[in-house]
Amino acid sequence: MAAVTLSKTAASSVIDLEDVSIGYGSDAPPVLVDVNLSIERGSFVAIVGPSGVGKSTLLRVVAGLHTARSGGVTIHQDKRPGHRPVGLVFQDSRLLPWRRVIRNVEFGLEGLPVGRDERRQRAEAALKLVRLDGYARRWPYELSGGQRQRVGIARAMAVDPDILLMDEPFGALDAITRHNLQDELRRIHQETGKTVLFVTHDLEEAVHLADRIIVLGGTPARVVRDVRNSAGRDGSVFRDQVEQLRSEIADNYSI
């Protein structure tokens, strides 16, 4: 079994996966094999692939929520006290209904060596980052779905993570809200310089957001494509990028 190693070396990569194999239970066949990836600090990386291929599983391993069967998983941490290496955002915001918005954002900071005043300041700054500074005293039930996801992002950002891990965070939202939040996420990425690892099955979303797109495919799954997407943010080539990726993924569906 290969747990996540937290390293304090000043590497340009923030996550390194070496020959990683992942499965559930000891007898079942592996879900993912031969995963070798190096994720650069500050990059925005999307993971795409067909349903059930292992996208969330890969994210769970990086998050330390599931242990790889073999191989090396290293997160190169900054040496800041009072932070966590990863911040997590899921499709469902997973807010605690009995806590006001500000106390939900503070939740991830509890257990860290951070005093009450700093905890409050960091939570307020995170709410400002997601443009919800007027909502601190609200209850989760008083928010829209998009606002709840913003609170989820604020909670993840409040721990000042090395990596923001996002598992289909906008998958349950209507199209307009989704587009708004995609734009907000791009802004947050630009403003904070955080590394983002973003799982989606929506290729347009991947091309719109990410500067690198990793395609998983096959049974067991492997990395079948690793695409640099610098052109994807230029509207004129957006369609071409999406269509090219769509055909590449379609090829890999049949592996």
Ligand X SMILES: Nc1ncnc2c1ncn2[C@@H]1O[C@H](COP(=O)(O)OP(=O)(O)OP(=O)(O)O)[C@@H](O)[C@H]1O
Q: Between residues 57 and 77, which has the closer beta carbon with respect to ligand X?
A: 57
Rounded CA separation 150/138 (Å)? 13
The only residue of 14, 31, 114, 214 in contact with ligand X, by rule CB under 6 A: 31
Chain residues 185-214 in contact with ligand X, contact rule CB under 6 A: 201
For the stretch 97-120, what's the b/e string if a residue is b when 16 or more beta carbons lie within 10 angstroms of its beta carbon?
Answer: eeebbbbbbbbbbeebebeeeebb
Rounded CA separation 91/59 (Å)? 13
The answer to whether the CB of 135 falls within 8 A of the CB of 143 is yes
The only residue of 43, 56, 93, 229 in contact with ligand X, by rule CB under 6 A: 56
252 scored as a contact of ligand X (CB under 6 A): no
Backbone φ and ψ of 12, nearest 5°: -80, -20
Q: How far is the CB of 120 from ligand X (least distance, A)?
A: 35
Instruction: Indicate the residue type of 230.
Output: S
Rounded CA separation 33/45 (Å)? 20
Q: How far is the CB of 49 from ligand X (least distance, A)?
A: 6
87 scored as a contact of ligand X (CB under 6 A): no
Alpha helices in the chain (DSSP H): 55-63, 101-106, 116-129, 145-158, 175-192, 203-209, 235-253
Select from 53-61, 71-79, 98-106, 204-212 the region that touches ligand X (CB under 6 A): 53-61
Q: How far is the CB of 40 from ligand X (least distance, A)?
A: 23
Rounded CA separation 202/66 (Å)? 24
Select from 51-59, 69-77, 99-107, 119-127 the region that touches ligand X (CB under 6 A): 51-59
Q: Between residues 54 and 146, which has the closer beta carbon with respect to ligand X?
A: 54
Q: How far is the CB of 47 from ligand X (least distance, A)?
A: 8
Site size with ligand X, rule: CB under 6 A: 11
Of 148, 133, 146, the C-alpha closest to 94 is 148
55 scored as a contact of ligand X (CB under 6 A): yes
54 scored as a contact of ligand X (CB under 6 A): yes
20 scored as a contact of ligand X (CB under 6 A): no
Chain residues 148-187 in contact with ligand X, contact rule CB under 6 A: none
DSSP β-bridge partners for residue 45: 197, 212
35 scored as a contact of ligand X (CB under 6 A): no
Q: Between residues 61 and 126, which has the closer beta carbon with respect to ligand X?
A: 61
Rounded CA separation 195/86 (Å)? 10
Q: How far is the CB of 217 from ligand X (least distance, A)?
A: 10
Q: How many CB atoms lie within 10 A of CB 239?
A: 11
57 scored as a contact of ligand X (CB under 6 A): yes
Where on the chain is the footprint of ligand X (CB under 6 A)? 24, 31, 49, 51-57, 201
